[in-house]
A = this chain, B = another copy of it.
Amino acid sequence: MPRRERVRQATVEEIKAVARAQMAAEGTAAVTLRAIAREMGMTAPALYRYFGSRDDLVTALVTDAYNALADAMEAAVEAVPPGRHGDRVRAAFGAFRAWGLGQPTEFALIFGSPIPGYVAPEATRPAGLRYTDLLGRLLADAHADGALDPARIDLRVPPALARQVEAFQRRRGGPALPAPVLAFGLGAWARVHGLVTLEVFGHLAPAVGDGTALFEQELEVIVRQSGLPD
C-alpha cells in the first residue's frame, strides 16, 4: 500500500476512534463533527475528505461495531473444542452479553434506535449478519453431530412458521435444518437478545441489579432444552 493511502487510512481510523471515545464519554449526542475535529486539531469541513456526511461516519461506526461483536463472539467460540456444543453456545451468548455490557454505547448504536433521523442503510447488512450466521453455524454443527435431543426440541411447529423458516433457509443457503430446530434457534436468540438488551439499557436493574445470575440461568435453560450434553 502506497504511503499516501496508508496515512489516509490512519486518519480514517483516528476519526472513528475519537468518535467512539466521545460517544462513550458523553453519549451519542456528543458525536458532532466539530467536536471530533477539535479533538484532532482540525476543522470540521476537513472531515468531509474522509466521510461524505455525518451519517456516513455513523454508518461506519455501526459496521465496525457489528464486526467487533462478531469478532468477540467468534473468538470466544473458537476457544472451546469443536465437539462441546453446549459450551460453545454458552461461550457465544456469553460473549454477546459481555460485549454489550463492555461497550454499551456501541451496543445501543446497533440494537437501540441509534441516532435520531438515522436509519441503518443497507450497507451495514453484511456485517450485521455475521453474528447471527455464527449462531446459525453453531446450531447446524450441533444438529449435524446429532447432539440435539429431538424429543425435547420437537415443539409442534405450526405450518405457517415452518414455511417461513424454510423460505429463510433457501434464501440464505447453507445446510438445511428441520423447521423445529431452526425455530428453536430463533427463540433462543430472541431470549438472549431480550435479556441482554433489558440489562444493557438499564431496564433490568430495578429488578435484579446484576443480571449475571439470571443470564446464566437462562443459558442453562436453553442448553438443557436443546438436549446438548455439555
Contact = CB atoms under 8 A, between A and B. Distances in A.
B186 A190 contact: no
Chain A contact residues: over half helix, strand or loop, or mixed?
helix
B217 A183 contact: yes
Interface in A102-150: 108, 111-119, 125, 128-129, 132
Interface residues of A, number: 55
Contacts of A129: 206
A207 B186 contact: yes
A154 interface: no
B217 A158 contact: yes
Number of copies of this protein chain within its complex? 2
A27 interface: yes
Interface string A47-65: 0000000000000000000
B112 A216 contact: no
A71 interface: no
Contact of A214 (B112, B187, B194): B187
Given A195-B190, A206-B129, A113 B116 contact: no
Contacts of A207: 132, 168, 186
A193 B187 contact: no
A157 to B, nearest CB: 7
B186 A208 contact: yes
Interface stretch (A33-41, A72-80, A82-90, A159-167): A159-167
A144 B173 CA distance: 49
Interface string A193-230: 11101100101001111101110111011000000000
Contact of A155 (B116, B190, B221): B221
A221 to B, nearest CB: 6
Given A108-B112, A193-B197, A193-B198, 17 more contacts: A27-B117, A108-B113, A111-B201, A112-B114, A113-B114, A128-B203, A157-B217, A160-B213, A161-B214, A161-B217, A164-B213, A183-B214, A186-B207, A190-B191, A190-B214, A191-B191, A193-B194
User: 3 nearest interchain CB pairs?
Assistant: A194-B194, A29-B117, A112-B113
